[in-house]
A and B are shown apart, each in its own frame.
Chain A
Amino acid sequence: MQGFAFQRAADAAAAIALGAGAGTAQQGARVRFLAGGTTLIDLMKLGVETPETVVDINHLGLDGIGRAADGGLAIGATARNSDLAHHPIVLAEYPALSQAILAGASTQLRNAATTAGNLLQRTRCMYFRDPASACNKRAPGSGCPAIGGAHRMLAILGTSEHCIASNPSDMAVAMLMHDAVVHVQGVGGARQVPLDDFFLLPGDRPERENVLEPGDLITEVTLPPAEPGARSCYLKLRDRVSYEFALVSAAVSATMAEGRIVTARFALGGVGTKPWRIPAAEAILAGQAPDAALFRRAADLALAGARPQRQNGFKLELARRCLVHALTQVTA
């Protein structure tokens, strides 16, 4: 860990002004916002993150959870994951989101971790986390030892020859399924970014993981109103029962009428370099009677283009089974 300056921002504008000097908001940022710290402090101890300045944003009043203007859900950037998972609106209208959050990390971590921090958590790729190792995401151009090394947990979708790091978030998978929008304030004002556009694929710039620029501060995440009558769930498959990142996961939601699917949506976790959603795969479900073979076709569409490595080819079949099982549950 290297020494750093610690500041408490007076308000959001001051935080943005401090952040504007970060050089980048991606890997190598010289200024980092501190919310729960469950990722940042960990990575600073490992020497993966080396900010010169850490700006505390916990007291900026960004921790509310409540109705959005459109009747949906507005989640403050520093709302704690535990508070969100147990919020009455979430439990009643967005159960998959609650389940996803509670499937992640541990109680202690969820009590500290925040909405924006969860979206910005970094990959668990073991080479990324070890500064003694090469890693294109941490040290651009140094190579990717995960390809040909230990990569059982890593991505099969959205990968490139430069990076196969998986996105580890459970919460983001459920949010993506719910069409979440990320609200950002920056040097140039406020903007809204659909969550699917927020994350970037690694391509040849794996050090860039999202669209944030220096000074950008996530203020809240909004979800549109839940579909009336929809049933949703989050299914996470992993080696042990608790406290482990997903091998594969699925957030699913469906509305039914007269034994047929009216609308269905799903997103996959653990398989992609970002939370994975393919609308065209969802589209084949509308108007159909629930059926395992149908769900499997949807899974195949969602998983099209997968490029597994030696150790993680099983994720393809496991993801199919995960999705079929989850869709069967919400359409039964």
Chain B
Amino acid sequence: MSATAEAPPMRIIGHPQPRIEGRLKVTGAAHYAADHHLPGMLYAVPVGATIAKGTIAAIDARVAEQMPGVRAVLRRGSFPALAAAKPDFASVADLEGTVYVDERRPPFDDDTVRYYGQYVALAVADTLEQAKAAADAVRVTYRAEAPEVDPALTAGEMTVKSERGDPDAAFAAAPVTVDQRYGMATETHNPIELHATIAAWEGDSLTVHEATQGVVNHRNVLAAMFGIPREKVQVISRYLGSGFGGKLFPWTHSPLAAAASRQLGRPVKLVLSRPMMFHAVGQRPAITQRIRLGAERDGRLTSLRHDYVNATSLLDDYEENCGEATPHMYATPNLRVASGLAKRSIGTPTSMRGPGAVPGLYALESAMDELAIALDMDPVALRLKNEPPLDQGLGLPFSSRHFQECLTLGAERFGWARRDRRIGSMARDGLTLGWGMAACSWLAERFPCSARVELRADGTARVAAAVQDIGTGTYTIMAQMVAEALAIPLSRVEVALGDTSLPAGPVSGGSMMSASLVAPIQAAITRAGEALVALAAGNPAAPFAGAKAGALRFAEGRVAAAEGNRQAVPFDQLLRALGQEAVSGLGRAEGTFPPKEKPTHSKHSFGAHFVEVTWQPELARLRVSRVVSVIDAGRILNPLAARNQIEGSIVMGVGMALFEETDYDPRSGAPVNASLADYVVATNADAPAMEVHFIEYPDTHLNALGARGVGEIGLAGTAAAIMNAVYHATGIRVRDLPVKLEQLLG
């Protein structure tokens, strides 16, 4: 922990801070997107296709159009066709110019239906109830075709993502091997806040309140679809009832609401229903993975092959990047990672918390457990044995990797040494215990970001950026950064975010937001200090009259003369002396993702999960009872929020391992369990006792504070650790998630 000891002590950063907007949220004063009501606002309810593949033969809206309060039933041709946004994923590295969507087809673009629930019409009325009644009364006839629903995922061709050595020959020669397939069901994000759009036009300007994880990208996509300058579009998302990636990129309901608003000349509110949350707003797709491991008898990996295929929609090639962590996780001279896609009649998949590495590490860490058993070796020892000296995939040193310490500290905290390796050999209170573990990793990168900081004469400061707080604590982190730098209390910092009228910021994705904000906020404070110094130097009435600007310095919120014994003057006192209300500065920093040039280091966070399950074979009753997680994510800015992220991820991992599955009807392709009663997520009662430890080695390759992200890494590896524990308890290796109790009945 020497790195921590060397870092300067901090008063606010690194200390637990309750979220500054918490009171607004729990008292209902925080207005989420759907909470906004505009004068003259109309309500829109989409009509979703009730087939998964085919064409629209006819839409009969005569009854609906005559119903009370109904303003219009829009469909293809009801308004000028929207342009495709021409998405480019690399553009997310472009602070002002990012344009990305996962579902590329604009709404109502043709009469082809490609998935169940695809919007085919939109009822707009004076009240929500009238719009819903009208939507229900629209009669759509289809020419249905047999949908692509085959649950067996096979790809036409595989693309090699990473390769070194000769993995085939090494596998063939290995004395110990594992060759298994691992499946994962489709998962739907299910944030409690439904997707919502409130669109209002004023002349040729569009304002949108949107439940989005990326206001700037959303603005740019809408501008592109409507063919108007970005300056004419404002997107606002001040609070988010979580997104889990489902709100990262725009979906078709948003331009639909905007088109309806323009067509009808009134503001339009469109809030999806819970069933619609399973249709046209993305999901983590079904995935099948094959892991082949070859090892020497001492446990050294000689070959690692990772092949994965995910379902995607008929139009869009969404790749679940399952091999993200595979090339760097363990040392092996021979490796190949390859991916493929299987086209299905489903809505376009999208990022869901930890896209890629989370399912990928489920497979890899399950296979590592199987290898440990094949070697008759402790699974912690197996991982320690295969620590790589560098990222062998990129051929780069790690910026900061303390994976072995995660393993050993986690094992110690969990009591792993007491584990009896024999199946079903451990018990407590009449319950069989299973102990399992798995590793996790998540990338650590930055997006480009800008921010403005204003210093005010009343002693407060304001920090503003067009970023989002998706429930993870960005408001508080931004306030902490400013309060720390200015040496003022947290309560004196006002935070403005979630509005494209503010300095541009990136999407809240990839656990990159905190790391992305460090440099621009620091730069903005520096610029504001320079402005203050310039004012002070030039003003004869001020405490520093006559001093040259170069002789004054701004630090910790105070201006002081570089020489002499002049006392440092706090910014508010100086502003009052100068008769100024405020000074401000704009900061901007470039990102590292997607990389524009070859990086110098491999930047990742690491961790290890240790899991206990209880098993009651006579009732096939399985519970996750205890989890210890050790996370190596650099400096932790807010331990309270960070622990909350890891604990939330672990509970989500319980859902992934045991419950979550979007159930598509094998004939119609409809997601049939489209409700919170039938799509089973973990409840509070399913949450285990959790111990989260952060080992804090600031990673200053990423930013000056040395902070990496913590929003996703906690989900990586969790399902594998649970299933490894299930095997230890039951002797049954389930390789398709979620495990169902009938698979364990014996």
A2 at the interface (CB under 8 A from B): yes
Q: How far apart are the CA atoms of A240 and B133 in the complex, in Å?
A: 35
Known contacts A1-B136, A126-B673, A127-B672; A237/B666 CB under 8 A: no
Chain A residues contacting B742 (CB-CB under 8 Å) are 314, 318
Known contacts A3-B133, A150-B663; A237/B680 CB under 8 A: no
A239–B667 touching, CB < 8 Å: no
A124 at the interface (CB under 8 A from B): yes
A47–B745 touching, CB < 8 Å: no
Q: How far apart are the CA atoms of A321 and B742 in the complex, in Å?
A: 12
Known contacts A47-B136, A318-B745; A149/B672 CB under 8 A: yes
Q: How far apart are the CA atoms of A247 and B744 in the complex, in Å?
A: 15
A7 at the interface (CB under 8 A from B): no
Chain B residues contacting A239 (CB-CB under 8 Å) are 658-659, 680, 740-741
Residue of B nearest to A153 (CB): B678
A302 to chain B, nearest CB (A): 17
Q: How far apart are the CA atoms of A150 and B683 in the complex, in Å?
A: 23
A148 at the interface (CB under 8 A from B): yes
B24 at the interface (CB under 8 A from A): no
Binds A, one of B334-342, B383-391, B616-624, B723-731: B616-624
A237–B621 touching, CB < 8 Å: yes
Residue of A nearest to B137 (CB): A2
Chain A interface residue count, Cβ-Cβ cutoff 8 angstroms: 32
A288 at the interface (CB under 8 A from B): no
A145–B680 touching, CB < 8 Å: no
- Chain B interface residue number, banded: 20 to 34
B212 at the interface (CB under 8 A from A): no
B677–A124 touching, CB < 8 Å: yes
B682 at the interface (CB under 8 A from A): yes
Among candidates B619, B684, B685, residue contacting A325 with C-beta atoms closer than 8 Å:
B619
B658–A237 touching, CB < 8 Å: no
Q: How far apart are the CA atoms of A1 and B134 in the complex, in Å?
A: 9
B689 to chain A, nearest CB (A): 14
Q: How far apart are the CA atoms of A314 and B68 in the complex, in Å?
A: 50
Among candidates A129, A130, A132, A242, residue contacting B686 with C-beta atoms closer than 8 Å:
A242
Q: How far apart are the CA atoms of A318 and B746 in the complex, in Å?
A: 11
A227 at the interface (CB under 8 A from B): no
Q: How far apart are the CA atoms of A127 and B659 in the complex, in Å?
A: 20
Q: How far apart are the CA atoms of A240 and B742 in the complex, in Å?
A: 14
Known contacts A132-B50, A321-B619, A322-B619; A241/B685 CB under 8 A: yes
B672–A2 touching, CB < 8 Å: no
Chain B residues contacting A133 (CB-CB under 8 Å) are 668, 670, 672
A321–B618 touching, CB < 8 Å: yes
A6 at the interface (CB under 8 A from B): no
A197 at the interface (CB under 8 A from B): no
Chain A residues contacting B686 (CB-CB under 8 Å) are 240-242
Known contacts A124-B678, A240-B659; A150/B665 CB under 8 A: yes
> Interface of chain B, helix or strand or loop or mixed?
loop
A317 at the interface (CB under 8 A from B): yes
B129 at the interface (CB under 8 A from A): yes
A240–B618 touching, CB < 8 Å: no
Residue of B nearest to A47 (CB): B136
Chain A residues contacting B677 (CB-CB under 8 Å) are 124, 243-245
Q: How far apart are the CA atoms of A47 and B677 in the complex, in Å?
A: 18
Q: How far apart are the CA atoms of A321 and B616 in the complex, in Å?
A: 11
B651 to chain A, nearest CB (A): 11
A318–B620 touching, CB < 8 Å: yes
A244–B680 touching, CB < 8 Å: yes
A17 to chain B, nearest CB (A): 28
A318–B129 touching, CB < 8 Å: no
Residue of B nearest to A328 (CB): B618
Which residues in window 236-258 of A have CB below 8 A to B? 237, 239-245, 247
Flag A252-273 by CB within 8 Å of B: 1 or 0 each.
0000000000000000000000
B561 to chain A, nearest CB (A): 64
Chain A residues contacting B305 (CB-CB under 8 Å) are none
A145–B667 touching, CB < 8 Å: yes
B132 at the interface (CB under 8 A from A): yes
Which residues in window 257-292 of B have CB below 8 A to A? none
B136–A2 touching, CB < 8 Å: yes
Chain B residues contacting A324 (CB-CB under 8 Å) are 618
Flag B294-315 by CB within 8 Å of A: 1 or 0 each.
0000000000000000000000
Chain B residues contacting A149 (CB-CB under 8 Å) are 665-667, 672
Known contacts A1-B132, A2-B136; A237/B678 CB under 8 A: no
B540 to chain A, nearest CB (A): 68
Q: How far apart are the CA atoms of A325 and B430 in the complex, in Å?
A: 14
Which residues in window 114-169 of A have CB below 8 A to B? 124, 126-127, 129-130, 132-133, 145, 148-150, 152
A150–B672 touching, CB < 8 Å: yes
Chain B residues contacting A242 (CB-CB under 8 Å) are 683-686
A240–B672 touching, CB < 8 Å: no
B713 to chain A, nearest CB (A): 25
Q: How far apart are the CA atoms of A149 and B673 in the complex, in Å?
A: 12
Residue of A nearest to B617 (CB): A321
Chain B residues contacting A150 (CB-CB under 8 Å) are 663, 665, 672-673
B618–A325 touching, CB < 8 Å: yes
Residue of B nearest to A317 (CB): B745
B666 to chain A, nearest CB (A): 7
Known contacts A3-B133, A132-B50; A145/B668 CB under 8 A: yes
Q: How far apart are the CA atoms of A29 and B509 in the complex, in Å?
A: 49
Q: How far apart are the CA atoms of A242 and B681 in the complex, in Å?
A: 10
Chain A residues contacting B672 (CB-CB under 8 Å) are 126-127, 130, 133, 149-150
A240–B678 touching, CB < 8 Å: no
Chain B residues contacting A47 (CB-CB under 8 Å) are 136
B129–A241 touching, CB < 8 Å: no
Chain A residues contacting B133 (CB-CB under 8 Å) are 1-3
B685–A318 touching, CB < 8 Å: no
Chain B residues contacting A321 (CB-CB under 8 Å) are 618-620
B676 to chain A, nearest CB (A): 9
Q: How far apart are the CA atoms of A133 and B133 in the complex, in Å?
A: 18
Chain A residues contacting B667 (CB-CB under 8 Å) are 145, 148-149
A237–B620 touching, CB < 8 Å: yes
A113 to chain B, nearest CB (A): 14
A243–B683 touching, CB < 8 Å: yes
Q: How far apart are the CA atoms of A237 and B665 in the complex, in Å?
A: 25
Known contacts A145-B668, A149-B667; A241/B620 CB under 8 A: no
A19 to chain B, nearest CB (A): 24
A166 to chain B, nearest CB (A): 13
Q: How far apart are the CA atoms of A240 and B687 in the complex, in Å?
A: 10
B20 to chain A, nearest CB (A): 29
Which residues in window 474-498 of B have CB below 8 A to A? none
Q: How far apart are the CA atoms of A107 and B588 in the complex, in Å?
A: 50
Residue of B nearest to A315 (CB): B742
Chain B residues contacting A2 (CB-CB under 8 Å) are 133, 136
Which residues in window 652-676 of B have CB below 8 A to A? 658-659, 663, 665-668, 670, 672-673, 675
Chain A residues contacting B673 (CB-CB under 8 Å) are 126, 150
Q: How far apart are the CA atoms of A140 and B396 in the complex, in Å?
A: 66
B683–A240 touching, CB < 8 Å: yes
Flag A1-16 by CB within 8 Å of B: 1 or 0 each.
1110000000000000
B273 to chain A, nearest CB (A): 8
Q: How far apart are the CA atoms of A127 and B376 in the complex, in Å?
A: 48
A150 to chain B, nearest CB (A): 5
Chain A residues contacting B136 (CB-CB under 8 Å) are 1-2, 47
Shortest beta-carbon contacts, A-B, top 5 = A314-B742, A241-B685, A132-B50, A242-B685, A126-B672
Provide a sorted-by-A list of 9 A–B residue pairs whose CB atoms are within 8 angstroms.
Answer: A1-B136, A2-B133, A3-B68, A129-B675, A150-B665, A237-B741, A239-B680, A242-B686, A243-B677
Binding site for B on A (CB under 8 A): 1-3, 47, 124, 126-127, 129-130, 132-133, 145, 148-150, 152, 237, 239-245, 247, 314, 317-318, 321-322, 324-325
Q: Give 13 new A-B contacts, CB below 8 A, not counting A126-B663, A247-B741, A321-B620.
A: A124-B677, A133-B668, A133-B672, A145-B665, A150-B665, A237-B620, A239-B658, A239-B680, A239-B741, A243-B683, A318-B745, A321-B618, A321-B619
